[in-house]
Structure 1
Amino acid sequence: QRILDLVDAEPAVTEPLTPRPAPTQFDLEFNHVSLRYPGSSQWALNHISFKLTAGQKLAVRGASGSGKTSITNLLLKFWDFETGDIRIGGCSIRELNGDTLRSLCTVVSQQVHLFNTTVAANLYLAKPDASLDELYEACRTAAILDEILALPQGFDTEVGEAATQVSGGQMRRIAIARALLKNAPIVILDEPTEGLDATTEQAVTSALEHLLIGRTALIISHRPTLLTLADQIIMMDRGKVIAVDHV
């Protein structure tokens, strides 16, 4: 299973007996989708609806517990919804195998996971057969190439336990380079600039802007710099969409 930045758990969703092939169009629609986690009487999502044409960017705002992360959990098929439907390119995600669905998505989050191996090995997780030119181009676009080359052994530098050899901003941009290598048509940004200083946030945001070109995207963030990347913004509260703003 592909390495996901967002979660470690195996998805607990029943797979279709006869899965459909991956869609070739990447518009995204949530249609009256509701979710209630096991053991809870509260709706995490309560009949939410939104639609993105292919290549559009939607920002999702709201306080902690408003339902933002639940949208991601459903889109990546880590949980199943109770009502409504989620469709990509007209295909219900219930008709897609989980691995197929997640191959269409890439996640860049606040919590970036790098293994205690080389920088190159962490990048190759996204595309094991990537050429050196592709590796360099992804890192150049993510504005991290020069900093990697300045490390003691360049791409062969071990990142260390808990990635102690790279800074938080470098980790985020390595994750963006990894997402560029994966080249998935749908991008999920989950607070990717949280906790960064202003200068580093601007560098990461610029790299994210390159990542989003031509891709359908969900941007979960309250940071003004990231909200400028969106075509549409929805505000959530207690599992409901309470406001929509077209940028």
Structure 2
Amino acid sequence: GIVGNNGVGKSTLIKIIMKMIPIDIGRIIVNGKYGLENIDEEYLYKNISVVPQSTVILSGKNISVVPQSTVILSGKLRDILNPAKRDISDNKIIETLKKFTVDYSIFENDLNYEILEKGGNMSGGEAQKLSLVRMVLENKPWVLLDEPTSAMDVECEKIICSILKEYLKRRTAVIITHRPEILSICDKIIRLES
């Protein structure tokens, strides 16, 4: 887990890891031996799920500058949760939605339900849950989470943290948060300072 005051660069660190912005000073080493500069962006995007601080919901498909997992496009719920069109059954999608306490009824119990641009027909907490559901369905080995429960109430956050604790056992994760509940699932906590 990574903690620190506002403006210290926690979210910027995720953008640097994903090569969305260049490193000005220093170097990031991966697995103790690989410089981040030697790792291909395509490889990163194929192997890292990103759950951003604010789930971005956009219309259109021209989002080449950011990893697909950082945005939720308006459109059918099924396509939002499985943008790469991987072979995932509807039952698996519905099961994962329910596991993450997504109120499937607000989507009229239909994976073809249309999400409005900017998520106009759902709350911030539901949008965060959809990002987490998509992360699980993507099933990538590395995960970057930036304040993934900030729009959720305490009760919901406890449930989500329990699910994440189990899911992240088999993955490398970086979690940026101020919330003690989610910090409790971290093996190590790093405090960033200016």
TM-score, length basis structure 2: 0.80
The 8 Å contact of residues 125 and 151 in structure 2, kept in 1 or not, is answered as: no
1:175 corresponds to 2:131 = yes
The 8 Å contact of residues 190 and 219 in structure 1, kept in 2 or not, is answered as: yes
Quote how far apart the aligned CAs of 1:153 are. Answer: 4.8
The 8 Å contact of residues 75 and 86 in structure 1, kept in 2 or not, is answered as: no
For 1:121, the equivalent position in structure 2 comes to 79
Which structure shows the higher helix fraction? 2
2:129 counterpart SS class:
helix
For residues 4-153 of structure 1, the aligned pairs below 5 Å read 59-81=1-23, 82-88=25-31, 90-113=33-56, 114-144=72-102, 147-149=103-105, 151-153=107-109
Q: Deviations over 1:147-176 (max 9, x none)?
A: 225632521211223223222222111111
- When structure 1 is superposed on structure 2, of 93-102 and 194-203 the one drifting more is 194-203
Q: Report the identity percentage.
A: 28
Unaligned runs of 5+ in 2: 57-71
Quote how far apart the aligned CAs of 1:192 are. Answer: 1.2
Which structure shows the higher strand fraction? 1
Of the candidates 157, 165, 168, which is equivalent to residue 209 of structure 1?
A: 165
1:189 corresponds to 2:145 = yes
Of the candidates 146, 154, 160, which is equivalent to residue 116 of structure 2?
A: 160
Change (3 A) 1:89 1:176: farther
Superposition CA RMSD, Å? 2.2
Unaligned runs of 5+ in 1: 1-58, 239-247
TM-score, length basis structure 1: 0.64
1:236 corresponds to 2:179 = no
